[in-house]
Structure 1
């Protein structure tokens, strides 16, 4: 019997990243693996994942061990899906670089959602408000080191 699961080409992996905005972030905290869903934007120009967070245990863990993983799926059925897994390095952005990349994140997520759902998301205004506050969220990127993917078609 022929194996129905195949490797995705790198270009297909990057396409899946570009055309989604929700993924799962994997990191190690206190020698324990964690996986959390998060909103992201794939910045093709810098070959990285952009995210933001408020202070907390997730950021503390990634500051201690900057090696992380990130997964994005497109699941249509049990017999038709694509999945991308990437390994990279967490880099916290500060000052002007953080503001520029938060703006890039906001615009990128908005464009991706608009493309997928053919409507403009309403929560984007919340991000714009956060950018104008003194207590801006922590912006970080995951610099891609290795990308792999699989797919199955019926």
Structure 2
């Protein structure tokens, strides 16, 4: 049976997972990349190092985000979110957003590339420190979301 997920089911998929894919564009090519994230009913919070996707999202903030739960080819759920990239700049807001993200990711078994230990160290560093490369903390302000499923 194929079907549509309702809003509560969509939020449940977003809340129960920590890995999704961001789709962004520079108007010439589309770039899709996996990221670890945390969802709080309003935003999807993510961190990344400076690079192609951050540069693209800064220039073109309208992005897409996808999360899949695949049990088998005939038993899965998939959610797509459209929203806007917002870099978190306020030091206090950044601290609490990072704390939320680290808290969510540290409860899961994530790879070293998720950067949980780096984010934990970042939270302990005074904002007045210079010459330290810090990850970019951002969120996706959700404007629209949809979900589908298949279940045998």
Map residues 77-88 of structure 1 onto 2, 5 A cutoff: 77-88=72-83
Match of 2:61?
66
Q: Distance in 2 between the 1:125 and 1:139 partners?
A: 15
Does residue 100 of structure 2 align to residue 104 of structure 1?
Answer: yes
Q: 1:17 Cα shift?
A: 0.4
TM-score scaled by length of structure 2: 0.86
**Would the aligned equivalents of 1:98 and 1:139 in 2 still touch at CA under 8 Å?**
yes
How many residues are paired up?
Answer: 141
Match of 2:143?
145
Unaligned 5+ residue runs, structure 1?
A: 118-122
Unaligned 5+ residue runs, structure 2?
A: none
**Would the aligned equivalents of 1:29 and 1:58 in 2 still touch at CA under 8 Å?**
no
Match of 1:124?
116
Q: 1:145 Cα shift?
A: 0.4
- From 70, 75, 84, the counterpart of 1:75: 70
Match of 1:33?
30
Give CA deviations for 1:25-64 in whole Å, capped at 9, x if unaligned.
00002521111000000012xx110000111121111011
RMSD: 1.7
Give CA deviations for 1:53-96 in whole Å, capped at 9, x if unaligned.
11112111101110001000100000000000000000001122
SS at match of 1:88: strand
Q: Distance in 2 between the 1:96 and 1:55 partners?
A: 21
